[in-house]
């Protein structure tokens, strides 16, 4: 979104006048025309009026014509005697000429004359022309002139004009006011605020337009104020300009007050007055410039002069409420229907003025960002291909900020790739000054120094941490963060995530850290805040710390590096200290004594030393993962300590004495697995609100006085597996709102729980009651309970809470995996929104449900046969009933379909035909979701059905109907239950040459045959009559589409699913293939000859792929003058092409791979002057000379099918192909190659299965991919140190290779290295590439399994495919960039798995489960190689069962991990012949990690958020996270 404030006309033409008045002076000069001219002048409109009534000389005539030519608008006042004047008629002819040539606007006004008299020259106009015709000479010229006059009158009268008689009953003043409004509207349509590159603006404008509410009739007389709020550089001004340009013509007056903050800052005395004057003059358009003497006077004048003007006012970049009040304090300062739009960085300012709506400006998504950046960097909407990877790196740096995209694009334009790399490296060290300058305005404008300190602390240390936690710490520092953090949020300097985490734009973070650098002149010992590892280690090693240091953070990845405690002696003002993996030696007596926060993870001592100074200001003590056995031997008083976190201190056997911690508010002892005793003094803590003992598996009970607490709100006992009893005193904990006691040994909940009137959440999952007693007492008195989780509690009909239906506040109820056969009525639970009954295998009937229910989950209830009536369930959105084979129908469901977005009834095989038909025909939801049923037959009412994944149709004429959208249906089979399927729908409008790719179908991880039906709204499709449409269902390898159907929906209500809109993805792009231009046939076993191409004169692309019986191509192909692509791949019986084919001057691409019967291309090949891509293969194919193609051939492909080439047979002029991009020479017999360094455009080189090859020569530095698998004699590889563009390297089974020189210098660009079977690699080479690997996502390094998981991996499972760990808390300034994952696997021959016959790789799923947030990330980034037994098996040297090692990375931008998250990583091969032996994980802090942007798979990463992670693994979780 560009942003410039100048105003310019749409063309380069300069207008001398805005309006030209043409009139008959004797009729209207002193009356109507004179009044009109005065009104125009008073409105500030520059109009031309001819005062020379009597002196009509030739030079006057020339002046008039020049005035007409130089006017933007002409107004013609037709009066009774207008046509008497030849001068007026000549003016009219000139006016109509300028209208046609210069697109001038012409307004005809009919003043006491009928438009029909002007048009037909009747009435008084007939009398005038009788005089003209009587007086003309007989010469041809004069006759033509009279005809010109008549034609001009007719044309002018046909234009849209106004008649005085029809306007306000002949009231001239009102008539003139109306004309003035039309003139203003036209003038301002020609003047638009300049916006450079309108990228991504439409959706944002539409969001604001809904708030502005101009169109609704009820709002036309209401004055509305709207605020646009966002961080600096986010595009607020650009958005405001776009709104101004869209609506300024709809208002009497308009004013855009740009850069208010800057104007007043530069002119502190006159700036605000000047803005008031501009507002008045813009709206009133007075002939005489309005001036005001002071701000107070300006306020008065604005109130008096503008209160009756319907105006559009934009007040841009306001930073102080008083400035805003001087311009637009109240709505009644402006006329009815006015709109005032305010842009600001300060949300509170908008709240102060009381706006009617606030729009928060959004960052650009990646597609928008790439387009805007490209306009600035390449002067086009997409980057040059060779700069695409670098451009995406810039996009990631800018994080969707338009300002940064414009600055970086403008800076990098016309620079080399090396200069781009250098700039990106520079940005890693310090941010761009032009960006920082704009962002810093918000920082400098903060109202108090403590707010600035809060911002700097957050930018350096607290990003990603809990807002409430940080607030407590910074309040303890005296920063008043309770107020300060909301101020930062209002100023768009900080945001808060849905998980209540403090977040910050990366560029704001970099700005904050740069400020710290600036304030210390770059000397670490003088920094107020130390967070970079090298700076901290230098200061601690040198013991050079000073009093200026306030905060220190050091994370050393558990390496337990030692420093002297004396290094902190001079840091007298140290208030925040974060250490991880650090041991301090020596005495602590001189340690800083003003700490507010001490976070020392992996604290190495068994107790806090006796000489550790008392910390009277300490607010939070975090010693997670410590070696503590006891906390203090002699506890000192910590009066201010509010938070104590000793989680995962696995040796800790008892809690500290709490009597010295009187103000403790939060006690967190998660996974202290040896903890068996909690000190009885805990009951005396009058402010304690949170107790989290999750995973304390040795703990059996709590002291009795614990239950006397009146302050505890949250008690968490999940996974305390030996905890047997909650005391009867539980009911006395009157403040308790949350109780979680899942997976404990509790057998009965005390009846006193009924006294907990504030209890909102109760979770008892996996808790089994005694056989003879009920787990829960009657619950009806728990009137505040909103969440109840009783999953897997072995509840039977007798043990089920009888009064469950009385919990009137209940919103979420989880009863999954229980043993009851029936349920009581739940219809009285009027607040219930989510009901879960998954895996209740004995449940036979679901009772009446509350009508407010939104989600019902009852998958795998195999005995379920009866459902309640759904006819009143008008709020139901999602219904899950998979594998309920006894259900025949759901009564009344067809009455509630309007609210629904998803129905899952896969494997409900007993549904009646009527029920299926009713829900399919009644479905209204568009977008994400749909209906899933068993079977794959398309309903018979679909009029367009095809037996594969493609359907084609033409939109018929609407004939008065309204096309609302499409209903789509397809039947598919799924062969995998182990990985979610990904579906995409491609809708190609071949008339408009556009494509919409819709990802609206949820994942479906179930094996079987299914039908999906859903809808796409025409709001998204934008189809029109006559459009030719091609729809393709795109699925992954685990599914196959059997049939596809479509039906057009006319005049039917369709409801876009906005609730899940964030899950839906629509991608639009140009689609350049028209159905008249392409013939596309694949896998046709019947076609034997091509069609006669004379019927397709405009054919551009011919694709006859994998048609094995095709033997003849029609000779008319040579007559196709627009044909550019010919793809005949896999046409095995095709022997040759017609000779006139080679005469083509248009063909650019010729693909003949797999045409095994073809032996030779004709000599005429050299005449194909446009040929740029030639791809051919075949046994003993005769290769033509390359000389004719020296400057044009980009791709040459002899494929790995064996052309039997030796050194002598390699074409001698191969290296002359200076444009060559792809060279495939696989399965040949040469031992060496000539140097290829001169092929500067070469991108891909394939040498697979060249078994005699001993050395690869020097390669061009632009090479992207080198494939040399199965070259067992290969022993020499060229130096890779300058191969900075290399992406993929394949060298499997090169047994002689020891290393690749210089490869470590080129790793930053690489995404895949395959060296399986390379058993002779040196240790130094292996360690170098593994440790320096930077690529994230798809790809990785593949080595032989004789090499173990590297020793620097600290989290390793030596026997299995799963690891568990907890993410350490973020240490000051250190960013968790991601994870490096490594595993060893084996594969064997797969002769019993024919579905993989043509594959050489098999997917290995890596599932990262965040057990804390209950989310899972399914990734497709790793593959396992295995043996093949296809027809080319003899070409490859495959191994029997062997072991391999894979290492790759996942960026935290994808993982979204935060400190404290419990994480499990499961490596899961998706075939049985691959097995994972070992797994390791290494956390990467502050490391450069490059996301591999080359992989197009939209399901590379798939999120799962069902939270179903209980059972089976939890013992391992607690074991692994604490050891």
Q: Provide DSSP, 1186-1227.
A: SGGGTTT--EEE-GGG-----GGGS-TTGGG-TT--EEE--S
Beta bridge partners of 943: none
Active-site residue, from 53, 91, 425, 1366: 91
For residue 385, count other CB atoms closer than 10 A to its CB.
Answer: 7
Q: Six-digit token pair at 371?
A: 């387009």
CA nearest neighbour of 1139 among 1111, 1177, 1168: 1168
Beta bridge partners of 22: 76
Maximum C-alpha span of the chain: 127
CA–chain centroid gap for 908, Å, is: 36
CA distance 1304 to 1334: 11
CA distance 1477 to 1361: 6
**E strand spans, 82-129:** 105-110
Beta bridge partners of 1474: 1387
Asked if 1135 and 1162 touch (Cβ cutoff 8 Å), the reply is: no
CA–chain centroid gap for 551, Å, is: 35
| Helix (H) or strand (E) segment spanning residue 255 | strand 253-257
CA distance 1414 to 1063: 18
CA nearest neighbour of 420 among 378, 460, 461, 481: 378
CA nearest neighbour of 514 among 555, 470, 459: 459
Asked if 1469 and 1476 touch (Cβ cutoff 8 Å), the reply is: yes
In the three-class reduction of DSSP (H, G, I as helix; E, B as strand; rest coil), residue 1345 is classed as coil
Give 361's DSSP letter. P
Asked if 181 and 310 touch (Cβ cutoff 8 Å), the reply is: no
C-alpha distances in Å from residue 1390, one per residue of 1037, 1263, 1446? 18, 34, 20
Please, is 1505 exposed, middle or buried when counting C-beta atoms within 10 Å of its C-beta (0-12, 13-18, 19+)? Answer: exposed
CA nearest neighbour of 1137 among 1145, 1148, 1151: 1151
Asked if 441 and 318 touch (Cβ cutoff 8 Å), the reply is: no
CA nearest neighbour of 840 among 872, 800, 792: 792
91 given a catalytic annotation: yes
Mutual angle of helices 140-158 and 86-102, in 10-degree steps? 60
CA distance 108 to 101: 18
Asked if 1451 and 1336 touch (Cβ cutoff 8 Å), the reply is: yes
Please, is 1522 exposed, middle or buried when counting C-beta atoms within 10 Å of its C-beta (0-12, 13-18, 19+)? Answer: buried
CA nearest neighbour of 682 among 662, 697, 668, 699: 662
Buried residues in 933-942 as b, exposed as e (16+ CB within 10 A): bbebebbeeb
Give 596's DSSP letter. S
Please, is 172 exposed, middle or buried when counting C-beta atoms within 10 Å of its C-beta (0-12, 13-18, 19+)? Answer: middle
- Cβ contacts of 100 within 8 Å, gap of 6 or more: none
CA distance 1214 to 1235: 10
Beta bridge partners of 905: 933
Asked if 390 and 421 touch (Cβ cutoff 8 Å), the reply is: yes
CA distance 589 to 228: 55
**Which residues are marked as active site?**
91
């Amino acid at each position: 979104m560009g942003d410039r404030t100048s105003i310019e006309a749409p063309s380069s033409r300069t207008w001398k006048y805005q309006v030209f008045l043409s009139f008959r002076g004797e009729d209207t000069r002193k009356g109507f025309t004179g009044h009109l001219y005065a009104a125009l002048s008073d409105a500030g409109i520059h109009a031309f009026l001819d005062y020379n009534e009597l002196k009509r000389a030739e030079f006057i005539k020339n002046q008039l014509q020049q005035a007409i030519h130089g006017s933007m608008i002409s107004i013609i006042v037709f009066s009774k005697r207008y046509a008497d004047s030849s001068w007026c008629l000549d003016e009219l002819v000139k006016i109509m000429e300028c209208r046609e040539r210069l697109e001038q606007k012409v307004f005809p006004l009919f003043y006491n004359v009928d438009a029909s008299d002007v048009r037909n020259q009747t009435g008084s106009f007939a009398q005038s022309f009788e005089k003209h015709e009587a007086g003309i000479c007989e010469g041809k010229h004069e006759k033509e002139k009279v005809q010109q006059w008549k034609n001009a009158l007719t044309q002018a009268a046909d234009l849209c004009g106004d008649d005085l008689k029809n306007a306000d009953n002949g009231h001239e003043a009102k008539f003139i006011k109306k004309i003035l409004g039309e003139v203003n509207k036209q003038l301002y349509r020609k003047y638009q605020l300049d916006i450079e590159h309108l990228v991504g603006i439409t959706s944002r404008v539409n969001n604001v337009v809904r708030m502005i509410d101009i169109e609704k009739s009820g709002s036309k007389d209401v004055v509305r104020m709207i605020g646009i709020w966002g961080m600096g550089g986010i595009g607020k001004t650009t958005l405001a300009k776009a709104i101004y340009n869209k609506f300024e013509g709809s208002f009497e007056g308009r004013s855009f007050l740009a850069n208010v903050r800057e104007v007043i800052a530069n002119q502190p005395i006159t700036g605000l007055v000047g803005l008031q004057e501009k507002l008045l003059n813009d709206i009133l358009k007075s002939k005489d410039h309005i001036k005001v003497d002071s701000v107070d006077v300006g306020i008065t004048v604005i109130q008096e002069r503008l209160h009756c003007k319907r105006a559009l006012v934009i007040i841009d970049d306001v930073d102080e409420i008083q400035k805003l009040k001087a311009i637009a304090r109240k709505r009644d300062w402006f006329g009815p229907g006015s709109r005032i739009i305010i842009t600001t960085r300060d949300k509170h300012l908008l709240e102060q003025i009381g706006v009617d709506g606030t729009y928060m400006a959004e960052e650009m998504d990646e597609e928008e960002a790439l387009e805007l950046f490209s306009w600035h960097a390449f002067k086009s909407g997409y980057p040059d291909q060779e700069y695409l990877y670098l451009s995406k790196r810039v996009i990631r740096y800018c994080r969707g900020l338009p300002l940064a995209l414009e600055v970086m694009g403008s800076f990098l334009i016309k620079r080399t790739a090396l200069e781009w790399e250098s700039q990106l490296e520079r940005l890693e060290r310090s941010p761009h000054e032009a960006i920082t300058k704009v962002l810093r305005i918000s920082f400098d404008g903060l109202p108090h120094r403590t707010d600035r300190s809060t911002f700097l602390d957050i930018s350096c240390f607290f990003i990603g941490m809990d807002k409430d936690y940080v607030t407590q710490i910074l309040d303890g520092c005296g920063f008043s963060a309770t107020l300060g953090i909301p101020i930062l949020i209002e100023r768009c300097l900080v945001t808060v995530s849905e998980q209540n985490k403090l977040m910050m734009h990366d560029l704001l973070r970099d700005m904050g850290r740069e400020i710290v650098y600036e304030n210390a002149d770059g000397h670490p010992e003088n920094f107020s805040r130390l967070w970079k590892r090298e700076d901290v280690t230098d200061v601690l090693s040198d013991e050079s710390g000073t009093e200026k240091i306030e905060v220190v953070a050091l994370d050393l990845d558990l390496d337990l590096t030692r420093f002297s405690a004396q290094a902190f002696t001079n840091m007298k003002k140290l208030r925040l200290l974060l250490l991880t993996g650090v041991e301090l030696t020596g005495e602590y007596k001189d340690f800083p004594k003003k700490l507010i926060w001490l976070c020392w993870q992996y604290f190495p001592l068994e107790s806090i030393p006796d000489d550790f100074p008392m910390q009277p200001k300490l607010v939070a003590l975090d010693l997670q993962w410590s070696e503590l056995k006891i906390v203090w031997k002699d506890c000192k008083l910590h009066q201010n300590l509010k938070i104590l976190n000793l989680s995962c201190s696995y040796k800790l056997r008892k809690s500290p004495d709490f009597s010295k911690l009187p103000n403790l508010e939060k006690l967190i002892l998660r996974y202290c697995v040896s903890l068996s005793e909690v000190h009885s003094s805990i009951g005396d803590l009058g402010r304690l609100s949170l107790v989290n003992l999750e995973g304390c598996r040795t703990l059996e009970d709590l002291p009795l006085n614990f239950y006397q607490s009146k302050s505890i709100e949250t008690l968490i006992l999940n996974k305390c597996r030996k905890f047997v009893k909650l005391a009867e005193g539980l009911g006395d904990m009157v403040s308790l709102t949350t109780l979680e006691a899942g997976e404990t040994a509790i057998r009965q909940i005390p009846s006193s729980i009924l006294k907990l009137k504030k209890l909102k959440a109760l979770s008892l999952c996996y808790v089994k009651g005694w056989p003879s007693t009920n787990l829960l007492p009657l619950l009806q008195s728990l009137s505040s309970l909103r969440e109840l989780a009783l999953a897997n509690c072995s509840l039977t009909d007798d043990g089920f809470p009888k009064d469950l239906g009385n919990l009137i506040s209940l919103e979420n109820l989880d009863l999954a995996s229980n043993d009851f056969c029936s349920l009581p009525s739940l219809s009285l639970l009027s607040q219930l929104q989510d009901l879960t009954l998954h895996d209740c295998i004995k449940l036979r009937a679901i009772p009446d449900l509350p009508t407010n229910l939104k989600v019902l989950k009852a998958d795998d209830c195999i005995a379920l046969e009866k459902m309640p009536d759904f006819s009143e369930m008008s709020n139901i959105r999602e219904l899950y009933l998979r594998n309920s084979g006894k259900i025949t129908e759901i009564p009344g469901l067809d009455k509630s379909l309007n609210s629904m977005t998803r129905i899952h009834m896969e494997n409900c095989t007993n549904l009646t035909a009527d029920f299926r038909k009713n829900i399919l025909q009644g479905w209204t939801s568009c977008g994400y979701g749909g209906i899933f049923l068993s079977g794959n037959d398309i309903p018979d009412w679909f009029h367009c059905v095809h037996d594969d994944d493609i359907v084609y149709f033409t939109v018929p004429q609407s004939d008065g109907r309204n096309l609302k959208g499409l209903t789509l249906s397809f039947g598919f089979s799924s062969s995998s239950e182990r990985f979610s399927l990904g579906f995409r729908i491609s809708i190609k409008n071949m008339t408009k040459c556009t494509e919409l790719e819709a990802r609206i179908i949820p994942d479906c991880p179930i094996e079987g045959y299914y039908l999906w039906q859903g809808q796409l709204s025409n709001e998204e499709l934008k189809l029109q009559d006559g459009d030719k449409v091609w729809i393709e269902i795109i699925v992954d390898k685990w599914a196959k589409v059997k049939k596809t159907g479509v039906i057009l929906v006319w005049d039917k209500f369709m409801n876009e699913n906005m609730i899940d809109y964030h899950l839906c993805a629509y991608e639009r792009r140009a689609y350049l293939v028209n159905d008249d231009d392409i013939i596309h046939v694949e896998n046709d076993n019947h076609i034997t000859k091509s069609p006669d191409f004379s019927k397709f004169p405009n054919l551009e692309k011919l694709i006859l792929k994998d048609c094995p019986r095709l033997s003849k191509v029609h000779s008319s192909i040579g007559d196709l003058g627009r044909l550019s692509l010919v793809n005949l791949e896999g046409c095995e019986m095709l022997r040759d092409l017609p000779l006139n084919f080679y005469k083509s001057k248009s063909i650019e691409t010729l693909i003949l791979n797999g045409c095994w019967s073809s032996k030779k291309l004709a000599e005429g090949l050299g005449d194909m002057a446009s040929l740029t891509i030639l791809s051919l293969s075949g046994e003993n194919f005769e290769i033509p000379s390359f000389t004719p193609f020296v400057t044009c051939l980009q791709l040459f492909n002899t494929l790995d099918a064996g052309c039997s080439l030796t050194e002598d047979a390699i074409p001698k002029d191969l290296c002359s192909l200076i444009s060559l991009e792809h060279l495939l020479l696989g399965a040949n017999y040469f031992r060496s190659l000539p140097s290829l360094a001169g092929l500067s455009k070469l991108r891909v080189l394939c040498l697979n299965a060249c078994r005699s090859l001993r050395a690869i020569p020097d390669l061009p530095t632009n090479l992207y991919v080198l494939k040399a698998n199965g070259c067992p004699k290969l022993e020499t590889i060229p130096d890779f140190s300058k191969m900075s563009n290399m992406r993929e390297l394949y060298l499997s089974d090169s047994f002689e290779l020891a290393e690749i020189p210089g490869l470590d210098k080129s790793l930053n660009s690489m995404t895949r290295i395959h060296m399986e079977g390379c058993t002779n690699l040196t240790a130094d080479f292996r360690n170098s590439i593994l440790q320096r690997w930077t690529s994230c996502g798809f790809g990785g390094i593949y080595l032989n399994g004789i090499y173990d998981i590297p020793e620097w991996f600290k989290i390793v499972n030596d026997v299995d495919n799963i690891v568990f760990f907890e993410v350490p808390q973020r240490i000051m300034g250190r960013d968790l960039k991601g994870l490096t994952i490594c595993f060893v696997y084996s594969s064997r021959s797969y002769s019993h798995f024919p579905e993989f016959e043509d594959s050489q790789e098999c997917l290995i799923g890596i599932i990262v489960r965040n057990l804390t947030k209950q989310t899972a990330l399914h990734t497709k980034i790793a593959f396992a190689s295995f043996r093949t037994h296809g027809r080319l098996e003899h070409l490859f040297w495959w191994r029997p069962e062997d072991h391999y090692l894979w290492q790759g990375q996942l960026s935290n931008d994808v993982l979204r991990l935060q400190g404290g998250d419990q994480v499990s990583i499961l490596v899961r091969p998706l075939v049985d012949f691959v097995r994972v032996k070992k797994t390791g994980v290494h956390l990467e802090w502050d490391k450069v990690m490059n996301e591999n942007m080359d992989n197009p798979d939209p399901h590379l990463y798939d999120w799962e958020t069902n939270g179903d992670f209980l059972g089976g693994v939890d013992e391992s979780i607690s074991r692994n996270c604490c050891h």
